[in-house]
Chains A and B, each alone.
Chain A
Amino acid sequence: MKVVTGVVGNDIHVVANRLIDISLQARGCEVFNLGVNTSLEEFIDAVVETDADILLISSLNGEAEGWCRDLQFLRAEYQLRDVVFVIGGNLAVGEAKDSDIVPKYKSYGFDLVFHQVDLNTGLDALEQYMKDRS
């Protein structure tokens, strides 16, 4: 499976990004890591160039919300219906409940949302999702 990953927006949490890269490779994925400070357009463009199966965006500074609002629009523009869109990390500034965060990001166009979820738990859930889909 091909996965495009990176840290969205003005977020420079590179350690988490490296851990995600290593974990995905350990699970047999072909990883295209765009690194930190990546715009949503770059993520989408990387999916197009690589024909990736999954786009996994991470964010730790809580500002992903501001950077991901155009996902539905871009997803439709490039007709990326079969690509699974995942976001994980710390997805809000300050206190926030899962019950508020998850629906909000799903309305932006993400298929899976992991707010403050352990990395391996999230990747297990992603693997299961991909199995169920196929």
Chain B
Amino acid sequence: MNELLIDIGSTYFKVCSKEGISQHFRDFKKNIYDDLNTKCADILSKYAKEDTYICSSANGGLSTLIIGVTNSFSLKYAKNIAYNSGINIIDTVLYGKIQESKIPSETLDVVIIVGGIDSVGGFFDEKLFAYLKKLTYSNIVYVGSSKDAHYLSENIANLKILSNIITDKLKLNEGELKEYLTNLYQEDIVGKEDIKHLYDITSNQIYSTPYIVNRSLPFIDAEFDVVNPFIVVDIGGATTDIHYSRDLVRDNMLTESEYDRLVFKKLGVYKSRETLIHAAKNNEFVYELLAYLNVTENILDEQSEKALRILMQLSIFLVLCKVSRLNSVYVTLKLEQLKSIVLTGGITKVLTHEECESIISFFYRKIMNLHHIPTIVLDSNYDIWTLGMVQQHHQRSETCR
């Protein structure tokens, strides 16, 4: 491998070169570029800008508001595309209830408006314009019926119009919106003081890490003993992501992608530790789980290596609960059909295979009433991320040719 791959996480840097993979804990007193330069100056100096590839999940990603006419199509499709483009923060407004919807106080990076197939129009009216006037946003994009495009562009300043994400057969068309959001992510990075200097060390596009992980999934069996259907759980410092095979979902959405992504914004073990503990204390099975792990709830208030391990085990359990039948708010995955669970992210550097297996066994026995558990694979060397970066690089090279 002649390229240098760098992943900027909210807690760690991961650097992959021909000499192997190394990781470095972030120094939060420095900006990302300075921190990276201090810790990896030697490696950085050996690679040209065009051979350096960076992805980042730091800086929280883009904040997004989606306004759509139905939950089952407009909002669901747009949310699916946004998650698969690597966006973490998504709020939705059902157009029929727009007058009662709360106004987000913070500045939104992008507002997405969607509704209807191309042959139908008249979905939006003055209510939309009145709502938009109360918002503060940087970008606004329309991906709904082409019949409404002209009317909306006359009434909304700087509206970007892309092809409808709902096809004439009510299927999903993700191409243009996905590309738009991925590019927006890059523009966002260029503008952010903390990491914009990263372009001093690379001449390639900086992608969001979840986007890269999502791209690696069709090739995952080349690196791991993973059998479909599988999930990849990425428990990081700020958020927890689940990437899952679409075979595990019971819905009528047909997409080109075989894998989807879901983000839990507040289940990270460092930056969102408090909310993780709060979620744990509100879970009816957690006290039984703590007893199973031979600890008391006091461990949640401790700052020790052992407390961190318990917290990470809790986060695996809570994430599985959130996608099980226990919780209908999120996507419900058919966990009884799951063949493999791949764990990646900082968690693999802390927990052993046995500790992960123990917690997953508890979940399957207690919640699923099953004694057989899926195969557990620990991506301790960040191979999934490397795989995704290499795939992205190869695709770009093919396109250039």
Q: Which residues on A are within 8 Å of B, measured CB to CB? A: 6, 32, 34-35, 37-39, 41-42, 44-46, 48-51, 77-78
Contact = CB atoms under 8 A, between A and B. Distances in A.
B170 interface: yes
A78 B74 CA distance: 15
Which of A6, A32, A49 is the most central at the interface, judged by chain B CB atoms within 10 Å of its CB? Answer: A49
B96 A78 contact: yes
A42 B117 contact: no
Nearest to B254: A35
B117 A50 contact: yes
Given A41-B71, A78-B96, A49 B116 contact: yes
Interface in B118-176: 120, 166, 169-170
A49 B70 contact: yes
Give the 10 A-B residue pairs with the shortest CB-CB distance, closest first: A45-B70, A45-B72, A51-B120, A42-B72, A49-B73, A32-B170, A48-B70, A34-B252, A50-B117, A49-B116
A122 B40 CA distance: 73
Interface string B61-78: 000000001111110000
Contact of A49 (B74, B96, B250, B252): B74
Nearest to B116: A49
Contacts of A50: 116-117, 120, 170
B71 A49 contact: no
B115 interface: yes
Contacts of B116: 49-51
A131 to B, nearest CB: 23
B169 to A, nearest CB: 7
Contacts of B73: 45-46, 49
Given A35-B252, A41-B71, A42-B72, A49 B120 contact: yes
Contacts of B250: 37
Contacts of B115: 49
Contact of B252 (A42, A44, A78): A42
B252 A37 contact: yes
A78 B69 CA distance: 10
A121 to B, nearest CB: 28
B82 to A, nearest CB: 18
Interface string B218-242: 0000000000000000000000000
Contact of A32 (B69, B70, B72, B169): B169
Nearest to B250: A37
Contacts of A38: 252
B74 to A, nearest CB: 7
B96 A41 contact: no
Contacts of B71: 41, 45
Given A41-B71, A45-B71, 14 more contacts: A34-B252, A37-B250, A46-B73, A46-B170, A48-B69, A48-B70, A49-B69, A49-B70, A49-B74, A49-B115, A49-B116, A50-B116, A50-B117, A78-B96
